[in-house]
Chains A and B, each alone.
Chain A
Amino acid sequence: DAGVTQSPTHLIKTRGQQVTLRCSPISGHKSVSWYQQVLGQGPQFIFQYYEKEERGRGNFPDRFSARQFPNYSSELNVNALLLGDSALYLCASLPRTGDPNTEAFFGQGTRLTVV
């Protein structure tokens, strides 16, 4: 079985540009969460989607947006990139939402560098 797939693995963008990151969850999982991990820090929650609906949003500006498709894959979009957006972006796949016991399965991440 395939795990969580994220693409691309690495990306370099210029300040002011826009970027789209992609995530395919584990087959049968219906929920995707996105995290930003800045170098030297722990991951910070950005969004959670379940059944194509946003179920949670972290403390990030409106430049960050996401969506989930009928096949449960997800995209994270960041507009007007800043140098501070340079980070590892992690996608987590979950079978469902609501139960804090539920284990999240993480992809290997997309390393975004803004220059």
Chain B
Amino acid sequence: AQSVTQLDSQVPVFEEAPVELRCNYSSSVSVYLFWYVQYPNQGLQLLLKYLSGSTLVKGINGFEAEFNKSQTSFHLRKPSVHISDTAEYFCAVNTNAGKSTFGDGTTLTVKP
């Protein structure tokens, strides 16, 4: 069985500061990891995904994530955040196309 734990439910940060949103996973099979963003009253939008190969994955909007197999982590980072990055962020693991297990989300609030 797969599970995802997002270690921080809320992360407040000032504009232009760096941010890290933490995600740990457990899986008994090969992992396919994803980060999604959800803006208020909207669906989920894919930020980036790890499939195989390089452990550093670059996504949209300046986000990147690092896959760490030994620590079973897939933390999301951005060197300088903007007000517009305020949203809910979800880490997910896929066992099959269309069947994802999500974490409970991290609310990122960027303050001016």
How many A residues touch the partner, as a band? Answer: 20 to 34
Pick from A13-21, A37-45, A77-85 the stretch touching chain B.
A37-45
Q: For window 21-58 of chain A, which residues contact chain B by CB distance below 8 Å?
A: 31-33, 35, 40-45, 48, 50, 55-56
Report the tally of A-B residue pairs with Cβ distances under 8 A.
76
Tell me if B72 is interfacial: C-beta within 8 Å of chain A.
no
Q: For window 60-115 of chain A, which residues contact chain B by CB distance below 8 Å?
A: 90, 92, 94, 96-104, 106-109
Tell me if B99 is interfacial: C-beta within 8 Å of chain A.
yes
Interface of A is mostly: loop
Q: Select B100's contact among A31, A40, A99, A104, beta carbons within 8 Å.
A: A104
| B93 (CB) vs chain A CBs: closest residue | A100
Q: Output the residue of B36, B100, B103 with the most chain A CB within 10 A.
A: B100
Q: How far is the CA of A104 from the CA of B6 in the complex (A)?
A: 21
Tell me if B17 is interfacial: C-beta within 8 Å of chain A.
no
| B29 (CB) vs chain A CBs: closest residue | A100
Tell me if B112 is interfacial: C-beta within 8 Å of chain A.
no
Q: Which residues of B contact A44 (CB under 8 A)?
A: 102
- Taking a contact as CB atoms under 8 Å apart, the answer to whether A108 and B90 are in contact is no
- Taking a contact as CB atoms under 8 Å apart, the answer to whether A101 and B44 are in contact is no
| B9 (CB) vs chain A CBs: closest residue | A40
A19 CB to nearest chain B CB (Å): 19
Q: For window 11-52 of chain B, which residues contact chain A by CB distance below 8 Å?
A: 30, 32, 36, 41-46, 49, 51
- Taking a contact as CB atoms under 8 Å apart, the answer to whether A94 and B98 are in contact is yes
B44 CB to nearest chain A CB (Å): 4
Q: Which residues of B contact A31 (CB under 8 A)?
A: 97-98
Q: Select B97's contact among A43, A97, A109, beta carbons within 8 Å.
A: A97
Q: Which residues of A contact B49 (CB under 8 A)?
A: 101, 103
Which residues in A have some Cβ–Cβ distance to B below 8 Å?
4, 31-33, 35, 40-45, 48, 50, 55-56, 90, 92, 94, 96-104, 106-109
Which residues in B have some Cβ–Cβ distance to A below 8 Å?
4, 6, 30, 32, 36, 41-46, 49, 51, 90, 92, 94-105
